[in-house]
Amino acid sequence: MFANSCRWLSFYTHSFDYYVLFRTNNPRSIFFFQEDVEISVPFKLLRVLAFVPSSFLQRVPTHLKDLMFLRYLFVTEWFEGLDCVVSTNRDLQTLVVSSKESQPGAPTLHLPCTIWESPRLQHLELGNSYVIDPPSVVKDNMQTLSWVNPSHCRKEVYYRFPNIKKLKIFCKEDLEPSHETGRSCNNPIILDNLDYLVRLETLSILVSAGCAVTRPEQPIFPLQFKKLRLNGTNFCKRDLALIGMLPQLEVLKLENAFHEKIWKVDEGGFRQLKFLLLEAKQLEQWIVNRIRSYILSV
């Protein structure tokens, strides 16, 4: 009775004999949180799948190819054959390839561009250990993108994602040169052209130590910004003043992104701000003329 009625499964380390569940085709979502060399994924109607690394990964792609209704796939590391799985699953909407925070000097894995062949892909989230070249055609469906290579931050590339709403950019010192530009993060990279992302609402920029990132003389941020996270950038008071004028900004996270001793918030700035996270080791004085009901974390 249980096996024939369960549609959402989550397996942890325990003594429960869950193999009886593999005789049914009812489950739509399944989560694995343990290592087991005997596990397979036979559910033909499965829509959501998430698992951590284990010794059965080498055999998983054969089973995943049969999951034609798969919409959400989460894996904690890339493995051989996954690009074929992604490109052949016609209903896949979300692909998350997580990774642990890479150490300085750790290699970056270049993922195949066949990932873009998935026709309904809307959300591509990659850890900072992975990089992928942009697609050659416009991807109207894309709404979420983790972008490891900042040398792709150009209007020619942004035009291929006209409906992107959430963007994360990793800047790594050890990043290999781009296939398109031949530039690496060892050369100064200007993070501009963001105003071409006309639907962008959430932006995260994470810069590793030693990575040279500069800003344009007059940085332009989309007016529809609601959430902004800056980590490791070297923004000045002028930049923060421009950010403060964004009319819809609700969440601002500054993590070692501001290195001056005094920050005076301009009158009328940050009108819609609801959450502020501030990590600034050199900041000695913060002057705010008007305190609102912010949630402040320092």
pLDDT digits (tens, 9 = 90+) for 131-150: 889 999 999 999 999 876 77
Confidence (pLDDT) at 37: 43
Spatial separation of the C-alpha atoms in residues 154 and 72, rounded to whole Å = 29
d(CA 214, CA 84): 37
Distance from the first to the final alpha carbon of the chain: 52
pLDDT tens column, 179-223: 444 444 454 556 777 888 889 999 998 887 767 666 666 667 788
In this structure, the answer to whether residues 127 and 259 fall within a common structural domain is no
pLDDT band per the 50, 70, 90 thresholds, residue 121: very high
Query: Residue 149 domain-assigned?
Result: yes
Q: What is the pLDDT of residues 56-86, one digit of tens each?
A: 444 555 566 677 788 999 888 887 778 888 8
Q: Are residues 174 and 91 both part of a single domain? A: yes
Identify the pLDDT of residue 48: 82
* Same domain, yes or no: 163 and 240: no
In a domain, residue 268? The reply is: yes
Give the whole-angstrom CA distance, residue 283 versus residue 298.
11
- Name the residue range of residue 270's domain: 235-298
Considering the domain architecture, whether residues 75 and 218 belong to the same structural domain is answered as yes
84/197 same-domain check: yes
Position 14 in a domain: no
Confirm whether 50 is domain-assigned: no
Q: Which of 222, 256, 286 is the last residue of a domain?
A: 222
Lookup: tokens for 265: 């918030």
Say if residue 275's pLDDT is above 90.
Answer: yes
Q: Domain count for the chain, please give it.
A: 2
State percent of the chain over pLDDT 90. Answer: 20
Alpha carbon distance 134, 261 (integer Å):
39
pLDDT at residue 7 above 60?
yes
**Considering the domain boundaries, does residue 58 fall inside one?**
no
Indicate the average pLDDT of the chain: 76
253 in the same domain as 134: no
Residue 83: other Cβ atoms inside 10 A: 18
What is the pLDDT at residue 101? 61
The reply to whether 271 falls in a domain is: yes
User: Does one domain contain both 217 and 285?
Assistant: no
pLDDT of residue 1: 56
Say yes or no: 114 and 181 in one domain: yes
**Residue 178: pLDDT over 50:** no
Q: What is the pLDDT of residue 28?
A: 67
Query: Does 123 share its domain with 193?
Result: yes
- Residue 237 has a pLDDT of 82
Q: How far is CA 66 from CA 41, 50, 89, in A?
A: 9, 16, 8
Q: Is residue 230 in some structural domain?
A: no
Of 191, 222, 253, the residue that ends a domain is: 222
Could you tell me if residue 88 is inside a domain? yes
Identify the top-confidence range among 27-36, 80-89, 248-257, 281-290. 248-257
Query: Residue 72's beta-bridge partner residues?
Result: 48, 94
pLDDT value, residue 196: 85
The pTM is what?
0.77
Q: What is the DSSP string of 121-190?
A: --EEEE-TTEE-PPPSS--TT--EEEE--GGG-SHHHHTT-TT--EEEEEE-TTPPPPTTT---TTS-EE
- Average pLDDT of the residues in 121-130: 90
Last residue of a domain, one of 184, 201, 222: 222
Does residue 186 sit in the same domain as residue 129?
yes
177 and 138 inside one domain:
yes
190 and 79 together in one domain? yes
Q: H or E stretch including 2?
A: helix 2-5
